[in-house]
Amino acid sequence: MLSQYQVIETSVIALDGTEYALTPDKKLLIQGDAAGFSGQMVGEALLCERTPENAVLLRTRLPWLNPVTLGLHTSAGFGDRLGIATPGHVQATIGTGVAPIFAQQSVRENSRTHRTPQNVVDDAMWGVFEMGWREAWGADADHLKHAADVAAFVKAGYTFFTIDPGDHVDDAAETDSLDILHTKAAALPWDVLQTTLVEMQTRYQTLFNLGALTLTFDERDVLKAAVKYGSAVAHTLRMAEELKTQSQGRPFEIEMSVDETGTTTSWHEHLYIASELIRNGIPFVSLAPRFVGRFEKGVDYIGDLDELEENIVGHAAIMRHFGNLYKLSLHTGSDKFGVYPIAMRHTEGRVHLKTAGTSYLEALRVMAAVNVGFFRQILTFARERYETDRKTYHVSATLDNVPESAHLTDEQLPALLDQFDARQVLHVTFGSVLDSFGEKLHRLLRANEPLYHGYLKRHFDRHLAAFRQESR
């Protein structure tokens, strides 16, 4: 039926006597039952713009275009700050057995890219449709901090909600005296936690046999865990209640993330967090602790991999202690190639990899290849914005280590995309760059989509290699 039209072959779907496809200029073409869709007739087919209304109706016709919950499968999240990266993400995911989250964006990222939760889901859905992906995929409302932000993500159809209670974590507990810990513990929101200080202390006065690992809590251990994370748990409970109210019975999954905090999450503290969430009936499927060492944006792990492996062994043992309830999450997971095999080996595949901004860096790599003058502009602007834009990120790049564009030849510029400091400077200034250069960047990427998607596939092939199902 649609053979007489120019279409993207991977997008062609025939179902119940109707055919659907995307045209090369990314419009929806329908031949057959097009009732309810808004568009113009072109011969015997209806040509439709990719409007939110048409997206909603297409999802009702083709249910695999809806994000779903993914459970304990090995999974990976792909951030897409430009809204056109999903085809490349799909290409990298095909054949790996990894459960993908193709729509993933935080409130902070939406604010900086001037996109909405609905924009992000719709963009991912059109990419899924374009590539003919029919397997399960998820949508992550990343780093949710406030109850008021929940409704927009629920309405847009998100299935995975990363609750970030980092503002409620008391890092000072790490060095507080025992007297101060007692005072702070007494002031915790015990009504929200549905327990008392005495009950909590009694609950952890036992030996926890975790297979090769055993944990005992002394008085300081239990008070420090409660003071450091008690209010964070309480905030997570409030956020979960808001999610339950907004979702009105629709399935959803929760991840709790405490990775963007100032101190490492100890094994005792992990056990405390998981125990309290479970005791309060929170259906969390993933937990992102703050591991030892440094997980920074866009660069490999900073620290001793042997120390990290020992750390992950303990966290994985605690996870298994609670049965098949949740998996460990690697946040700021881009480019941590030494970490992936360790995490897979010790979690036996119960791991979630979260990447965010490196799809944007691959877009800049395309610019360095096809329009080096434009890339020079972006680099100069990013250097000017870095000290301001870095304030909400855990990064350690210094501008002195990033050459000015005028000091490099055209041939030398692309190598900056592989240099530690330059990657971070370019990474965290994305919002400012998009404000000033977004329209031109989108236009050039649209003109070079196959190249961009090829770069993304190559980039994420490296990331997912350790997570493939046959590697388990």
The catalytic residues are: 142, 255
210 bridge partner residues = 213
Q: Which residues contact 104 (CB under 8 A, 6 or more apart)?
A: 77, 78, 79, 80, 120, 139, 140, 142, 354, 356
Residue at token pair 């209010």: 231
Distance of CA 99 to the CA centre of its chain: 13
Q: Is 384 in a helix, a strand, or coil? A: helix
Residue at token pair 């459970």: 71
Q: Please, what sign has the CA dihedral across residues 182, 185, 187, 190?
A: negative
Question: For the CA atoms of the chain, what is the radius of gyration?
Answer: 24
Q: Is 192 in a helix, a strand, or coil? A: helix
Residue 47 near residue 68 (C-beta atoms within 8 A): no
DSSP-derived letter for residue 448 is T
Q: Give the amino acid at 67.
A: P
Residue 408's Cβ-count burial label (10 Å; 0-12, 13-18, 19+) is middle
